[in-house]
Amino acid sequence: PPQFSSHRLCYDTEVYMKALKRVQELAGSDRHITVYVATDHSQSLMDELKSRFSDLYASMSWSYLDYSRKIFNYFAGQEIDVSTSFIESPKNKNKALLGETAILDIWHLSHGQVFIGHLGSRFGKMGWYQATARYNVFIPFYTVDGHSVCCDIDEACGAMAQYVVSMENCLAIFFADKWSKFHTNETRSKYWTEGAIQRRIGSLEEKEFRSRRQQLYDLKE
């Protein structure tokens, strides 16, 4: 489903560990695995892994950036309704440090040669892009939320799949034009019920362009 700002899906650690176990099986017993972890709960996650998944934990190396949890308590001591507040709020005094931790975590994730995580998250997807750039190959991925590389975070992937008409369409996802050229009254009215549907409009335009281009080629022949 679309992942709106007000609607994010979280998954139990076991979901990630099952995927990691599968990667280990595919890699073979003779290859040691280093896991690059990006989380704002590093210590509690490591404690959970040691207690719930001790065999898997012991069989791999774990690399993570150990931030203080206090950094992520955005509005500590402030009279703010945290249920309606965002990291980007001007009242968040930790934005600079949070930005630094995010950039470092994305850099950290880029060292992995297999991605396990959310591709329905721009943070997760950026980590995948950076790893792809680092190794100059398509990084295999296991996406816990069902989103693919070709699906934007606020799209309903199944509904939009038929409109992925090229690799350019897949990877660019109309980021530059998303909220302008292809953002119409129709897309605005349907956003909170169907998700982003700009790809449908953009793909139809791309198909028309390709058709006209082919006609010109045919005339030249």
Q: Specify the pLDDT at position 54.
A: 96
Dist. CA 40–CA 66, nearest whole Å? 8
Residue 57, burial from CB neighbour count under 10 angstroms (0-12, 13-18, 19+): middle
Q: Please say whether the beta carbons of 77 and 102 come within 8 A.
A: no
Q: Specify the pLDDT at position 176.
A: 47
Dist. CA 152–CA 135, nearest whole Å? 23
Could you count the other beta carbons within 10 Å of the beta carbon of residue 172? 13
pLDDT in tens, the chain (221 residues): 667 666 677 889 999 999 999 999 999 988 999 999 998 888 899 999 999 999 999 999 999 998 877 777 666 556 656 555 666 666 767 777 888 888 999 999 999 999 999 888 888 999 999 999 999 999 999 999 888 888 888 888 888 888 888 887 787 655 545 445 666 677 777 777 778 777 777 777 777 777 887 788 877 76
Q: Specify the pLDDT at position 209.
A: 76
Q: Specify the pLDDT at position 179.
A: 45
Helix, strand or coil, per DSSP, at residue 59: coil
Residue 27 vs residues 1, 75, 128, 214: alpha-carbon distances, Å = 31, 43, 19, 44
